[in-house]
Structure 1
Amino acid sequence: MNRREYVSLFAAASVGALAGCPGSSEQSPSEPSPSETTTPAGTTTPSAEERTYETVVDLREEGADPTGEEAIDSLLAKHQGDDTKLVLPKGRYRVERQVFADLDTFALVGDGATLVPTHRGPGSLFLFRRVSNINIEGLQIDQTANGILGSFRVRCVGGENLIRNVTLDGRIDRPERIHGFTLFSEGADTSLTLEGIDMTDGARNGTAVYVFPQDDFSDPSRKPGELLFRNCRMHNWGGEGIYGSPHAGPISVIGGTYKNNAIQQVRVGGGNDNRALVKDVEVVVDDPPGYAAGNMRGIWLEEGNDCLVDSCTVRIRNMGGGGSDGGIVVGPQFGQAEITNTTIQTDVEAPAINIAGPATEFVPSSMPSLDQLPETWTVSCSNVQIHGASERGAAIHLYGREDCLFENISVDQSSGSRHGLLTSEALSTDIQGGNWVTAGYPMLFGPTESSSESKELVCFEDLSSVRSTEFDGSSLETTQSSDESARACIPMSSAPVRETSSRIPYIAITGTDEDTLYGHSVLANWDGSEVTQQQ
């Protein structure tokens, strides 16, 4: 993605038993009442029904044509204003393009209303500039009539803002790069919520939601605002589902489905000062359209300091000729993360969880939501179920991070040569309980350049449920952990040493019993392929 293209466009427009894993798709998140939405902080964004307005205008009574023959733009321009609610009753309404600027406490509400965009070019149908306390609710955008995207560009600079129950109806088959929603939230007390948005028809070349970086059009003295996505549906976009990593403020994605988008389904950041949240989300890659065969990541964490991924369901089943970095990806520009109570199905070669090594250089132009690189890079995974028919690669990749935790992980991938956990340049990995059953090696621990004698390569607690269906090994020598917790550890002195540039040595774990770890040494490629046992 070329972020600068977006900037110019916007400027032109303005080792034991599993402890339980409740993260299944059958679970339903608790729902707010129909007239309000709850933010992660526990506050509510009022709907247009709950707010009071000095002026309420029924646009049909003012002459809006409900047959879609005549555009209603002049009426929208005439009646918009502060403390005003515009209502569109049932009907079809033609809209060319409309700008709403410098408004406070404004609502545009449909009651069975369908809007038919007829403007030309990639510009937005609705552009909201410098608005506060806005409500956009109950609108269906019929994109099938003219093949024109009914897109929104929204810049909120204050108050509580809600876009709810809006449907973009009809797939857009246009070559230019387009976005369903382009969002900007400025001000520490500003919040913007998208709830119940339906963008399942997608577009050949576009992003469902793009969030603008704070640096491009903001007052540098103001902090970024809050963004919340609740129970939205974004499918079949030739670019991204949610591209939220440029946002430096609080960002949460709660509930909803994100499916068959080409580059990723959900991408969050949050900057240096916030903990992003992805909760109760369903992610699916199973039948991508031909135009969406890209790097089809599931949940992607990038440009942020901290994130909780909780009670999500991720299914990567068919990439349509494309590839994928993984079901859940912790990118090199993202710091600490917690992944918990989540189920991941991978029927393809992509890893279920892919944890990249930390970035070593801060590049502001490509990390606009960060002021500096994160200080903490630890990732913890707990109560995660991984299954599926994948025959190659590894279920979990871990590169270049210390002190990562895998607690009560269940890996059941017994087809082909699929491995469980594969690490490289990772120190002090902590594995507590879980079930690791694979056709390949349940665990492969690669070399590290560290010479620290105060750290272990990896430590285990409860070694009863680790098993390869294909390989046997000899008992491995372990030591007691340096923290005197009685965990069995592979010390740094036993870590494999890389001697060639083409093949990587690993300690391959084949199984365990109550007090013994079994395995042997192997050589393999960086992704665990082409394994050969060393004598």
Structure 2
Amino acid sequence: MTHDNQGSTAGRIASRRSVLRTLGAAGVAGVAVATRSGSATAAPRGGFQFDRVVNMHEAGADPTGGEPVDPIVDRYTESGTLLLFPPGEYRLNQFNPGFDTDLENFGIRGVNSKQVTFVPREGQGSDRYGTGYADKLFINLWGVRNLLLGGFTVDCTAENTGGRTQLLADDGLVFRDVTFRGRHDVDRGPLLFCVFDEDGEGVVDRARLPDGSVGPDPNPVGVFVFRPHAGTLTFRNCHVEGFQDNGIYASAPDDPGVIGVEGGYYANNNVAGVRLGQSESYVKNATIVVDEVPDFWNRAFKNVNMRGIWQNDGEGMSVKNCEVVMATDVTSQGGIVSSKRSGGFTVENTTVRTEAPYRSFGISARRSQGEDGFGNQFEDLSVTLRNVSTTGDAPDAAAVDLRGRDGSLVENARIRHSGTGRDGIRLLDSDATVRNAVIDVAGEPIVAEGSDVTTRNVRYDDNGRGRGRSDR
């Protein structure tokens, strides 16, 4: 790839040392960390190897949002280059160098997401500039290795304006500290990621999408993981709220791809706050909330099912140290749900709260068909719930509902529900063990149909109306 680097190199391309001094003065360590070999905070294995850092002010980019910066960004897009944006507002119509770019060690970095803003051209992401898929993208980087994007805000507050940012790397993907402002009102969600190599790694850290999408049509996804994903992709401390077709939609790829969700806040997303499908994927230290009736919940838009965490393919998903709150009256299968195309899963050290008038399950495992959507057979269908607390005053249904899940275990559990008719644990064709548990519900503590249940050291408190009873 050849570019016309107009003007003298001096003054346009700063040394790494001087740029890192500038970043240090601005209180930003992101680029410095990413250029250190072996960084534990999301640099790819071996670190980035930037041969040059281009100060985009000095290269001619307009920081007032008046003139598009597209030509200048295109001019310096080549391997070994970090494009550094100092504070300002930049009009970036579209950055789409094409598919299979073969870029390596390339980055676009703002000094701080609160100080650097990219503004797409008005109408980007709609049909205004073309109806093809590529016409509607905002940033498209495909076939890259060691890619760093971060430290900026994308202003999508103009009507019918946004476009998708999609980053598809062979390995070494880092997307950090990026905020999207404005309700998403075009038909493709704002973010798509993929790591193609089976041993490749990617990190999405502090991606913030707090403003959601507009309904009832179209139905954009907040964050989508592309089906060819085969590596390991970790989402850390992200905020995704108010999207109509999943907050994080990561169940499309087949094994061996693994998705990790660590920390973060996922609120009021239809279908699921976090949706996983690869075996051994996990959610830990995250908060998932449904506490508002969305404005797309109306008679014209009936496809509403607001789950918290959804295992929709694969087996071996784990949920650890999470808080799930279901507290509004919308259709939902439950707070933590495993579908018929899923195998076994584990929930540990997690709280699930279901409040009235919410009526669905806290934790639900549907009867599995024994294989995932790709025809892979499951070895284990059992559900393990350990150190789990479920509370609330939601009526009817059950706190825990397991169907066709032999070998399940409920251990060290606290199930306290005061809602009318609310059962504790329902087992349908699911032989299970319940031990070291307190079950305090208005309905039946354990309902077993076609199931052999072994209980040990289980206390039934009867909602505090009496001394209760124990099974030891």
TM-score normalized with structure 2 length: 0.82
Question: Superposition RMSD on alpha carbons, in Å?
Answer: 2.4
Bigger shift: residues 286-295 or 414-423 = 286-295
Question: What CA deviation, in whole Å up to 9, does each residue of 1:62-116 have, x standing for no partner?
Answer: 1111111211111111110000000111111111111142210001001221011
In structure 2, the CA distance between the partners of 1:331 and 1:95, relative to structure 1 (3 Å rule), is same
In structure 2, C-alpha distance between the alignment counterparts of 1:57 and 1:288, rounded to whole Å: 47
Deviation, structure 1 residue 45: 2.5
Q: Which residue of 2 aligns with 1:487?
A: none
Does residue 1:163 correspond to 2:175, yes or no?
yes
In structure 1, C-alpha distance between the alignment counterparts of 2:413 and 2:108, rounded to whole Å: 48
In structure 2, the CA distance between the partners of 1:43 and 1:374, relative to structure 1 (3 Å rule), is farther
In structure 2, the CA distance between the partners of 1:361 and 1:404, relative to structure 1 (3 Å rule), is closer
Any conservation in 2 of the 1:230–1:255 contact (CA below 8 Å)?
yes
Q: Which residue of 2 aligns with 1:68?
A: 65
Specify which of 438, 462, 470 is matched with residue 435 of structure 1: 438
Q: Which residue of 2 aligns with 1:454?
A: none
Does residue 1:423 correspond to 2:430, yes or no?
no
In structure 1, C-alpha distance between the alignment counterparts of 2:104 and 2:375, rounded to whole Å: 31
Any conservation in 1 of the 2:119–2:155 contact (CA below 8 Å)?
yes
Q: Which residue of 1 aligns with 2:301?
A: none
Q: Which residue of 1 aligns with 2:223?
A: 209
Deviation, structure 1 residue 373: 2.5
In structure 2, the CA distance between the partners of 1:384 and 1:141, relative to structure 1 (3 Å rule), is same
Does residue 1:275 correspond to 2:315, yes or no?
no
Structure 2 unaligned regions, length at least 5: 1-28, 127-135, 299-303
Does residue 1:297 correspond to 2:300, yes or no?
no
In structure 2, C-alpha distance between the alignment counterparts of 1:180 and 1:304, rounded to whole Å: 26
In structure 2, C-alpha distance between the alignment counterparts of 1:432 and 1:192, rounded to whole Å: 40
| 1:132 match: secondary structure | strand
Equivalent residue runs for 1:176-215 within 5 Å: 177-204=187-214, 205-214=219-228
Any conservation in 1 of the 2:125–2:188 contact (CA below 8 Å)?
no
Q: Which residue of 2 aligns with 1:532?
A: none
Specify which of 460, 463, 467 is matched with residue 466 of structure 1: 460
After the TM superposition, which segments of 4 or more aligned residues of structure 1 sit over 6 Å from their partners? none
In structure 2, C-alpha distance between the alignment counterparts of 1:514 and 1:192, rounded to whole Å: 48
In structure 2, C-alpha distance between the alignment counterparts of 1:242 and 1:253, rounded to whole Å: 9
Any conservation in 1 of the 2:371–2:378 contact (CA below 8 Å)?
no
In structure 2, C-alpha distance between the alignment counterparts of 1:237 and 1:252, rounded to whole Å: 20
In structure 1, C-alpha distance between the alignment counterparts of 2:273 and 2:235, rounded to whole Å: 13
Specify which of 112, 137, 144 is matched with residue 124 of structure 1: 137
Specify which of 145, 164, 167 is matched with residue 154 of structure 1: 167
Question: What CA deviation, in whole Å up to 9, does each residue of 1:450-499 have, x standing for no partner?
Answer: xxxxxxx1101113x12445999xxxxxxxxxxxxxxxxxxxxxxxxxxx
Q: How many residues align?
A: 409
One-letter code aligned to 1:213: R
One-letter code aligned to 1:98: F
| 1:45 match: secondary structure | coil
| 1:323 match: secondary structure | coil
One-letter code aligned to 1:336: G
Deviation, structure 1 residue 361: 6.0
Q: Which residue of 1 aligns with 2:5?
A: none
Question: What CA deviation, in whole Å up to 9, does each residue of 1:351-400 have, x standing for no partner?
Answer: 110011111466xxxx2xx4512221111001101101112111111101
In structure 2, the CA distance between the partners of 1:90 and 1:43, relative to structure 1 (3 Å rule), is closer
Structure 1 unaligned regions, length at least 5: 1-32, 219-223, 449-456, 473-509, 516-535
Q: Which residue of 1 aligns with 2:109?
A: 109
One-letter code aligned to 2:346: E
Any conservation in 1 of the 2:78–2:103 contact (CA below 8 Å)?
yes
Specify which of 352, 359, 363 is matched with residue 353 of structure 1: 363
Deviation, structure 1 residue 206: 1.1
Amino-acid identity (%): 28
In structure 1, C-alpha distance between the alignment counterparts of 2:399 and 2:307, rounded to whole Å: 14
Any conservation in 1 of the 2:343–2:371 contact (CA below 8 Å)?
no
In structure 2, the CA distance between the partners of 1:59 and 1:146, relative to structure 1 (3 Å rule), is farther
Any conservation in 1 of the 2:159–2:185 contact (CA below 8 Å)?
no
In structure 2, C-alpha distance between the alignment counterparts of 1:121 and 1:261, rounded to whole Å: 21
TM-score normalized with structure 1 length: 0.72
